[in-house]
Structure 1
Amino acid sequence: MQSKEAPEERNERVRQEEMKTSSTANLNDAITRGSNGSLVDLVSGFGWKGIGILLLVLCIGFIVYAVFFR
């Protein structure tokens, strides 16, 4: 009996394999991730509810900015 792999786990496994095979890309990712952070790491930590809440907060923030500061 084979265990099913979740899509998030499969994506992470493929990303890790790509990092192992490409050392220059890995170096570039490490340099830019240290200064900017990684969107993949941010989004993978959230579920669909977390992403929805994040988008809602961004939209409300933009509306408040547009109304009060323009």
Structure 2
Amino acid sequence: MSDRNPGPEERREWLRQEERKRNPLGNMNDAHNGGGLTDLIGMLGWKTTGIVFSIVIVILLGLLFI
């Protein structure tokens, strides 16, 4: 057995897989109730999220000043 503790991302993924095993139709309910953006942000990481937000802001500013 290993003594290493799982990181927050590994633990989150493990919990997500366990929830899917217990409730396979739960993701349809989650999609209906929202949570898409929070799942996306949690999956990407802070660097990628910052890059995506920066690109969106640049596009919006470009459209504003055209």
Query: What TM-score do the two structures reach when normalised by structure 2?
Result: 0.69
4+ residue stretches of structure 1 with deviation over 6 A?
none
Distance 1:49 1:25 in 2: 29
Q: Provide the residue aligned with 1:66 in structure 2.
A: 64
Change (3 A) 1:2 1:53: same
Identity %: 31
Q: Provide the residue aligned with 1:54 in structure 2.
A: 52
**Structure 1 residue 23 displacement after superposition:** 2.4
Q: Which has the higher helix share?
A: 1
Q: Show the 5 A alignment for 1:1-70.
A: 2-26=3-27, 28=28, 40=39, 42-43=40-41, 44=43, 46-68=44-66
Distance 1:52 1:63 in 2: 16
Unaligned runs of 5+ in 1: 33-37
Distance 2:51 2:25 in 1: 36
Unaligned runs of 5+ in 2: none
Distance 2:56 2:16 in 1: 28
Query: What TM-score do the two structures reach when normalised by structure 1?
Result: 0.66
Distance 2:25 2:50 in 1: 35
